[in-house]
Amino acid sequence: MADGARYHQTREGGDAHTDNVNIPELWDYLVFGCTVPAAVGGWNVIVSGLAVHHCLVNNIPEAVDVLSGDYWWEYRGIKDDTYQAPVLTYDAKGEPHFRYLRTYLEAAHQKVGEPMSDRQMWAINVLDAVIELPELRFTRRLWAGEILITHDSQIFHARTSFADSLDAQPVDGSTNGADAPIRRTMERTWVQKQPR
């Protein structure tokens, strides 16, 4: 990802994030289905954004204020442009919603030539530390045919690094015959509810 690849194009493990970082509008749900698991690794990590918010408010409220300010984001994979939006927002009911993928956020600030302030960097470090608290993390491997449905802006997700079999082939066409193992393959769909 450091060289500009999108997260799903790598075998890297990654920090917990939301998917709604490439466009200013938030979608509601991430539907994530397993077609073929990896030979090893690739476990899903889930963290409740509500639990993260609760921890922030009760322990480091200054970070909440900073995360509610604007950060730079890029339309990575969509177009060569940037926009500004907070990491943390609230809906009409007062529920928190997150927009977060640290690698993309840092790349956007670099792209516009405006490094994050010390306060912004501190708040992001606080957010990462809270997300990584073991008591807030749920880890599970998805098997073929299983799906995960999350409210994207209220659930952080990540995966552990993975490796496929040595001769694994893409799901859309094996060159080693019908018995060749298939690469880890996940299907992802973003869902926006109808306007109310």
CATH number of the domain at 48, please: 3.60.130.10
With respect to residue 39, please indicate whether it lies within any of the assigned structural domains.
Answer: yes
Question: Which among 109, 152, 133, 137 has a CA at the least distance from the CA of 60?
Answer: 133
Q: What local confidence, expressed as pLDDT, does residue 1 receive?
A: 44
Q: Is residue 15 part of a domain?
A: yes
Predicted structure pTM score? 0.84
**Position 74 in a domain:** yes
* pLDDT tens digits, one per residue of 12-24: 557 899 999 999 9
Q: Give the length of the chain.
A: 196
Bridge partner list, 30: 150, 190
Which residues constitute the domain of residue 36? 7-191
Q: How far is CA 110 from the centre of its chain?
A: 20
Is 116 a member of any domain? Answer: yes
pLDDT band of 175, cuts 50, 70, 90: low
Q: Please indicate, yes or no, if residue 1 is contained in any of the structural domains.
A: no
- pLDDT > 60? residue 2: no
Asked, for residue 99, whether it belongs to a domain, the answer is yes
- Answer yes or no: is 135 within a domain: yes
What is the domain count for the chain? 1
Query: Is residue 121 one of the residues assigned to a domain?
Result: yes
